[in-house]
Amino acid sequence: MVRNVVTAAIETAGLVGAAMDRVDGPAKVTGAARYPADFGYADLAHAVIVQSTIAAGRIAAIGTAAAEAAPGVLAVITHRNAPRLVRAPGGLGIGPPPPLQDDRIVHHGQHIAVVVARTPQEAAAAARLIEVDYEPAEPMLDLDDPRAERVDNAARRDVSRGDVAAGLAAADVVVSPTYTTPTQTNNPLGLFATVAYWDGDLLTVHDTTQGPAFDRRSLAVTFGLPESSVRVLAPFVGGAFGAGLRTWPHVVLAAVAARVTSRPVKLVLTRAQMFTSVGYRPPTVQRVTLGATRAGELVAIDHEGIEPAALEDDFAESLTRATAVLYDCPNMSGRTSQVRLNVPCPTWMRGPGEAPGVHALECALDELAYELGMDPLELRLRNYAETHPQSGRPWSSKALRACYELGAERFGWARRTPEPRSMRRGRMLVGYGMATAFYGYVQAPCQARATLGRDGTAVVRSAATDIGPGTYTVITQVAGDALGLPPDRVRFELGDSDMPPAALQGGSGLTAALSSAVHDACQELLRSFAELADGGPVTAGTYTAILDDHGLAELSADGASARRTDLDAEPGIFAAKFAEVEVDPDLGLVRVTRVVAAVDGGRVINPKTAASQIIGGTTGGIGMALLEHTLSDPGTGRIANATFGDYLVAVSADVPDIDVIFAGDPDPMNPVGVKGIGEVAIVGVAPAIANAVYHATGRRIRSLPIAPELLL
């Protein structure tokens, strides 16, 4: 009986799959949405960070007297008077070592002091009065520095199968290009901010985070508190792109400042500090060797990459994870190494690992296609992996072939003439390029609670965040669908670590995990109503009457989710990206004129917000291909372009109309059938553009970004 009740409720609502407007949109455009920097308390103080101006060495002396005597200053905290803190265990959501614990300098821009004052202006003025004498050391800033420690298999994801050497020896055609990708900085529009407040031993933090529960865990360990003594709030987050997946030193410093001054403290990073304080995509050097028969069958793939790591950090990402699974090849080896340097801590950035790794692989495949005289799309279809190449198990769902076909048809790939420099539009050179995209999402455990009151309104809660992909909206749809309620009678609340714990909003896993937990909670709630009804009808119109009959103000139920382990299958998110470029032959200027992204996203809960995710990721991919490059001085490690005037991102004039197609069936890995798409949105865009540039110009640019001078 309960199963029939649940089915009827879902059929009544019909919200899943609807292109619904964002439920949080009005709050954002009217200013009602409160971001971390918008929160304050009575007697609020403000903190400003002082950073090192060398990359290696020690602090010989630090003069704070002038700052301490400055107007409005409440405290100046350095390594000399900071409390001793505990480093939280490494892992996702946990940041670098706690700040101000000794006099060592390990990177340029390291936090070496924090000034707390009554106003932000007074704190900033006092911070400029601090004088620091250093004992500098020669920094390690280059991947080739012989003094630097090299860490092999850094992400513990190196993978191999078959005999690569034998495969290459037997290949008819071998290509072995090397690609470089630059440092890129996440740069969300909203500056990261933390507001910290102590009530005895209870710590409340408003923070720019992608995971309140992870933030709470880290802060609890750092300050030696039980997790129940820490509350993290983040109902709205102004973007993050992965930078909010860790608990950074400035968050700890805000809490330290609040404890030292016995006042609530707000700390907002400057734009320049965002470049050194909340991570970045590390630069890479990657060599991809492909061996194939003359018929285009891959017989060997060897992909090795190297990237920097900070001296005292556990962050690592794999550059070759997609290489192991995208194509059916009997002999394959993928390896990622790191070199520990005097650089700030890197972190995840949209499409971590896959974005730069797939760029190298897909550009190398394009080179192989030209060497073979074969259509790049045909080469990929000829090596299509029907099953997981490494494990041999079937995919839980895979619609990549449909993505190729639908994307190519919509793009007009058949109009491409194969020779480089063979297509023009007036005086402009025109190029077509394409690439495959993959992201191996992980669905972490998640919990949620659903409550239905006498007013007929459902409230769903979970300690998740929404950094912009539309979490508020899609969870409203899932809950409304399950309970048979219209969206205006469903309220989803998130961003509070006191709510049922949720997964991080990262790795394309939250929508699947959270929607499944909410679905489970709503099913449990319907079962509870069915038990109270004792065989009577349970519909959206009877909830209030059932509660009244039993003298209840509301009824609640908890739900949980985890990735299914009973399926003998491998999960994966796939896409095909097609790009058209125009290149000015005299100036070398590249303009992306068309993009088609065909995505295997499982069941799409909201086509409007899902398409918005793909458009946003594509925009980031255009920046990755043509514009973005964080520059540092090779001798000192100082970031040289830490402003939006100097660090170029794609703006409206750089972004054409982006055509988004969704393909595929619901994924059985979770009851809602969802695959995350936030990460795969950027993967494959840069190589599609780079391959289009080669087709247009005949110039193979193996380093990003593709600047005009490289084409002249």
Based on the fold, state whether residues 18 and 45 are members of the same structural domain: no
Tokens of 472: 């508020």
Q: How many domains does the chain have?
A: 3
Cα separation, 222 vs 84, whole angstroms: 9
pLDDT over threshold 60, residue 14: yes
Whole-angstrom CA distances from 27 to 68, 115, 472 are 41, 34, 12
Q: List, in order, residues 6 or more apart from 319 with CB less than 8 Å away.
A: 284, 286, 303, 305, 307, 334, 336, 353, 356, 357, 360
Provide the pLDDT for residue 562: 81
**Preceding peptide of 585 cis, ω within 30°:** no
Which band of pLDDT confidence, cut at 50, 70 and 90, is reported for residue 537? confident
Provide the pLDDT for residue 92: 66
Mean pLDDT of the chain: 95
Based on the fold, state whether residues 82 and 203 are members of the same structural domain: yes
Based on the fold, state whether residues 513 and 497 are members of the same structural domain: yes
Based on the fold, state whether residues 89 and 103 are members of the same structural domain: yes
- Domain assignment present for residue 672? The answer is yes
Domain-ending residue, one of 528, 561, 594: 561
Section 213-228 average pLDDT: 96
Based on the fold, state whether residues 22 and 122 are members of the same structural domain: no
- Domain assignment present for residue 100? The answer is yes
Domain-ending residue, one of 533, 561, 589: 561
- Domain assignment present for residue 147? The answer is no
φ, ψ of residue 54 to 5 degrees: the values are -130, 165
Based on the fold, state whether residues 132 and 241 are members of the same structural domain: yes
Model confidence pLDDT, tens digit, residues 443-469: 889 999 999 999 999 999 999 999 999
Tokens of 610: 């899902």
Active site residues: 679
Model confidence pLDDT, tens digit, residues 578-602: 999 999 999 999 999 999 999 999 9
- Domain assignment present for residue 365? The answer is no
Which band of pLDDT confidence, cut at 50, 70 and 90, is reported for residue 93? low
Query: pTM for this one?
Result: 0.96
Cα separation, 143 vs 413, whole angstroms: 40
pLDDT over threshold 70, residue 439: yes
Q: Which of 77, 115, 75, 116 is nearest to 98 (CA)?
A: 77
Whichever domain contains 219, its CATH number is 3.30.365.10
Based on the fold, state whether residues 53 and 95 are members of the same structural domain: yes
Section 605-627 average pLDDT: 97
Section 426-452 average pLDDT: 94
pLDDT over threshold 60, residue 10: no
Based on the fold, state whether residues 29 and 44 are members of the same structural domain: no
Model confidence pLDDT, tens digit, residues 146-162: 999 999 998 888 999 99
Based on the fold, state whether residues 644 and 505 are members of the same structural domain: no
pLDDT over threshold 60, residue 46: yes
Domain-ending residue, one of 248, 277, 306: 277
φ, ψ of residue 270 to 5 degrees: the values are -80, 165
Model confidence pLDDT, tens digit, residues 316-356: 888 999 999 999 999 999 999 999 999 999 999 999 999 99
Strand order in the sheet with 446-453: 490-493, 458-461, 446-453, 554-561
Q: Is 618 exposed, middle or buried (0-12, 13-18, 19+ CB in 10 A)?
A: buried
Neighbour count for residue 516 (Cβ, 10 Å): 26
DSSP letters for 280-313: -BPPEEEEEEEEE-TTS-EEEEEEEEEEEEETT-
pLDDT over threshold 70, residue 6: no
Based on the fold, state whether residues 505 and 471 are members of the same structural domain: yes
Based on the fold, state whether residues 679 and 582 are members of the same structural domain: yes
- Domain assignment present for residue 218? The answer is yes
- Domain assignment present for residue 544? The answer is yes
pLDDT over threshold 90, residue 5: no
- Domain assignment present for residue 360? The answer is no
Based on the fold, state whether residues 414 and 462 are members of the same structural domain: no
- Domain assignment present for residue 553? The answer is yes
Q: Is 426 exposed, middle or buried (0-12, 13-18, 19+ CB in 10 A)?
A: exposed
40 vs 54: which has the higher pLDDT: 54
Cα separation, 8 vs 129, whole angstroms: 68
H or E, element range at 274: helix 271-277
Model confidence pLDDT, tens digit, residues 626-683: 999 999 999 999 999 999 999 999 999 999 999 999 999 999 999 999 999 999 999 9
Which domain does 542 fall in, by range? 2-33+443-561
